[in-house]
Chains A and B, each alone.
Chain A
Amino acid sequence: MEELFTILHPSYVLRNALYGGMVTGLVLPLIGVFMYCRRMVFLGVTLPQLSTGGIAAAVFWHLTYHQQEPNHSDFLLALLGSTIVTTGTLLLLAALERRGHEMVESRIGTVYVFAGAVTILLLASERIPEVGIVTLLRGQIITISDMDMAILLVAYTGIVLLITLFRRELLLVSVDRDLALSLGKRLWVWDIILYGLVGFAISLGVLMVGPLLTFAFLLLPTMMAIQLAKRFFLVPFLGGMFGLGIALIGFIVSFFMDWPTGATDSLLACLLLGVITLGQWLRRLVSRPITR
């Protein structure tokens, strides 16, 4: 019990790992709701991979053209590279979707393979491993500084405020695009805002907790909330609470079991989703009228 108080105490040496995970767990499901509504779940796997490629590309560019090792501004450099690559690709995919000649999934699959390959090749270059930048690519949650934590807090607060302000428009363009058009909404404006938020939030998430947990936080808490919420506007709130809880409990479990935090959180999210899905299935089975 004493150890539990220790890791929850504000002076705990890895406090930023805990806080960073919790904030990411709280905010990413708010973005995930709109991705789920837009049926962009497959894209949810691809974007963190793409974001990782963006981080690697930004660091590689910096080392190649500035001939110096990245310093404490690593985080901002990686965030910028990742956001540009992720948001830019999202917008490109959206533009191609309008032309609609091939299957959307095939393009997303190609982007996933491309991003994965580029990341591996950049990591294999002689420069990147030398500067020990690999932690950035895996999510640097354990080593995150107070400054990086402050950037995360400010950025995610901004994202939450924008989502709250534009919740109706984002819902409309995500759930029923025809209705949005008939009501005179400019879809391209709201798409850019949504994709910008998605790209930025995922880039920060990948830097903080890595691609695996970013995907887990984006979609699994949302899928839990959608099964339990009585009305749609409760879904983001419930999803955020699930993400927050998973990050907290996952951190405690990983501490006591000496497991990697990201993988522990992801596994916990999968288990919880399984339990909720099973519970809902049993509830429907029990409430179904008996027919002879």
Chain B
Amino acid sequence: MRIILALIKKEFYQVFRDRNMLRLIFLLPMIQLIVLGYAINVDVKNIHTAVYDFDNSTLSREYVKSLSAGDYFDIEYSEIPLLDINSGFKSGQYDAALIIPSGFSSDITLRKPITAGFVVDAANANSAAIAMAYAGQITAQFNNRQTKAGVPIELRQKRLYNPEAESVYFMVPGIVAVLVTMITVMLTSMAIVRERETGTLEQLMVTPIKTPAFIFGKTIPFAILGYVEMSMALAFGILWFNIPFAGSWVLLYGLAFVFLFTTLGVGMFISTITATQQQAMFFAWFFSVFAIMTSGFFTPISNMPDFVQYITYLNPLRYFMAIVRGIMMKGAGVAELYREIFAMITFSAIIFTLSWMRFSKRIE
């Protein structure tokens, strides 16, 4: 035990002596959090829409107005001639164009079918699809108002957990999970490889230190750092972004502990297959990118193609992501999360044991 403490103390000396490193370890995640908190916004809104109203009647203006209500569409009566609208799309000035033919208002009054044109720049497929859905929805509502004889049956929708549909409430818990992964995997793998590179690992190997003592002494400091990072990110998210925290802190920290075994295990494993810090960094990064992308952090897993969905089951971050979000946003407990918890524990046990086995006190 005291030997482990000595190792931990040494590791912290090293971290805290390097001011630059220290700054990066603590500042980098905070910058990441702020930037991501604000930048990650997949809500589709402010769709820049050029309007060509060839009818210019009260009704056509009302139709345009109904489109501009809400912050989905940014309406602009365009100065570019309709024939040149493509240049407006190419330069990115417009995302969509709405064309109202003349006769719009008279046809509605005469109850004749009318067609309005809606052109979308679909380079960004997602925004385009959603813009079309919005436009369709607004048009349907407009029609209902005009027909008066609308059916009094309504679909009453209610959103749970995040009624204002704030992206940041969803992303910040995700960032917490991502930070814990990146920091612990990278720092652990690089710290062990650095000792190998500088020769101190050999010096450690000739001491009578036991393998478990070495492994825990080498990983516990980074587990602590992981916890600190996580707490800072949580505090920041709650105080700055006003993220609600619905669930149990104890459960979150307890499960984070389980998850740390996975990331520390991966870090150790990387250190056994790499010879230089540069390689360790690359592998750690490689792993992190892969884990983040297939965790459902950016995009729902249900959207991914089937074979990618199967791959995500092998990603421990997937489970931790669901756990963090479930606990924070939905107040989920063990009853709701038992599948994820079970999967994560299994992974942690397997990965940590494997890297333990690979880790030998002899050098080859």
A-B complex is real: no
